[in-house]
Amino acid sequence: MTTDAPHETAEARAESAYSAAYLRYALGLLCLVYVVNFVDRQVLAILLQSIKNDLGLSDLQLGLLSGTAFGLFYATLGIPIARLADRFSRKGVIAICLTIWSGMTALCGTASGFATLLLYRVGVGIGEAGGSPPSHSIISDYFPPEKRATALGIFSLGVPLGILVGFMAGGWLNQAVGWRHAFIFVGLPGVLLAVVVAFTLREPPRGLSEGLRSDVASAPTAAEVIRFLWRMRSFRHVALGSALYAFVGYSITTWAPSFLERSHGMEPGEIGTALALIIGIGGGAGIYLGGVLADRLAIGSPLGRIRVPAVAQLLSFPFAFIIYTTPNTTLALALLTIPAFLGLMYQGPAFAVTQSLATPQMRATAAAVLLFVINIIGLAVGPALTGALSDALEPAFGEDSLRYALLCVSMALAWSAFHFHRSGRTLVADLEVARLASQREAEGLPLLKSW
């Protein structure tokens, strides 16, 4: 363990190790990796209708491809891969996993049927499982707690920007060269980006931003991390609130293109452009503002950080009633901007709270635990359940069955708001437990069994 001068702040420690310009570069590079992550994940959504027509698949099969096949492996392998990142090179894990998921995305363009496309989507999920958790850990060591929600919010801009690029590029490539070449064109650039990560991203000492430096060999096991976090009621509610938003969010981003094509008669290119602007710009503004507001409101009390997603989710869900029932395409698209803006405000606060509830040696694994809950409920279940619900409603509503399936799914936003609100009841006490655990870890002591 190393000690720092008592007068030296966490921010000063980070700035003395890395210049402000480099910190901006590193955060931008990790955000770009996250953009590629979501481009490769989300491009399938804009291609679903063409794949359905070409391969003769059902909505349930499309839901399995877009959600379950990807989500199960993405969620379950995230924890063991994050465990490697907590013990070894985090940037190495990111570079290797980026190469895997980008290559598998390109291979999706060569699929001969449902089985091979399913296999390649599993490969994308396996690769992407190693993207976010190591990034969260690195960012938390670059930036102190008082700036962490903003930094993680900027990193999370990869979600709307990736959706923007995926929808826009995928939509127009689909029209111009077909869905197969669209996969190849969006997949290959990630392989080159992996080289940039490997040679330019610097690995920060763990605990740097808080002055808590301990040997990596003392990192707790994955089981210890899970027990430590899950005993905190605030973390459980944050995880469930995030997962319920993801249940709605992944269902919408997966099925909105098909909904607009079936119920509003839009073409793939204009759908891609519209959704790219709505989710990319509206969602991006929401993510950034959510992180900034969370950090500012947390100055007086850490409860301010968690109130941001609670209020945002509560305000967003009523708009679904108009979005999915109006026959007016312009009105539906205009109102979709509001939940896109409000809904994604949860990311910066939720990720920052999770990192603050974890010790420096468990941060990648902690992020993976959160993402496991989010993606099992949101990604593995959401799109498939929405597709199955659409199939069940088709005899009654025909082409409009997807409209009403999405309306039903959107009601979970109110439930999400409830869990974010409940997390505030124990957040202060849980943060104190995390602070004491971090001190023990820095002194080379194991976690207390009572934790």
* Range 113-118 contact pairs with CB under 8 angstroms and sequence separation of 24 or more: 113/55, 114/55, 114/57, 114/61, 114/65, 117/51, 117/55, 117/65, 118/64, 118/65, 118/69
The pair phi, psi for residue 188, each rounded to 5°, is: -65, -35
* Averaged pLDDT of the chain: 87
Structural domain boundaries in the chain: 26-210+218-442
More confident residue, 71 or 162: 162
The class that CATH gives domain 26-210+218-442 is mainly alpha
What are the Cα distances from residue 211, in Å, to 134, 145, 223, 371? 19, 12, 26, 27
Average pLDDT over residues 255-278: 86
Q: Residue 33: what pLDDT?
A: 95
pLDDT confidence band for 9 (50 / 70 / 90)? low
Which has more confidence, 217 or 337? 337
Residue 5's pLDDT is what?
42
Residue 9 zone, left/alpha/beta (φ > 0; ψ -120 to 50; rest): beta
Q: Could you tell me the CA-to-CA distances from 106 to 64, 186, 192, 376 in Å, in that order?
A: 19, 7, 13, 25
Q: How far apart are CA 364 and CA 80, in angstroms?
A: 10
Q: What is the pLDDT of residue 1?
A: 38
Share of the chain above pLDDT 90, in %: 43
Instruction: Decide: helix, strand or coil at residue 2.
Output: strand
Residue labelled with tokens 């635990």: 369
Output the pTM of the full model.
Answer: 0.77
Is 430 exposed, middle or buried, given 0-12, 13-18 or 19+ CB atoms closer than 10 A? buried
What is the C-alpha to C-alpha distance for residues 216 and 254, in angstroms, rounded to an integer? 39
pLDDT the model gives residue 105? 93
pLDDT band at 421 (very low <50, low <70, confident <90, very high): very high
pLDDT average, residue stretch 402-408: 95
Q: Name the residue among 141, 127, 166, 216 with its Cα closest to residue 44.
A: 166
pLDDT in tens, 144-153: 888 888 898 8
| Residue among 160, 184, 244 nearest 423 (CA) | 244
Which of the four pLDDT bands, split at 50, 70 and 90, describes residue 214? low
Confidence category of residue 450, pLDDT binned at 50, 70, 90: low
**Stretch 130-153: mean pLDDT, rounded?**
88
pLDDT of 217 reads: 46
Secondary structure in 3-state letters for 307-363: HHHHHHHHHHHHHHHHHCCCCCHHHHHHHHHHHHHHHHHHHHHHHHHHHHHCCHHHH
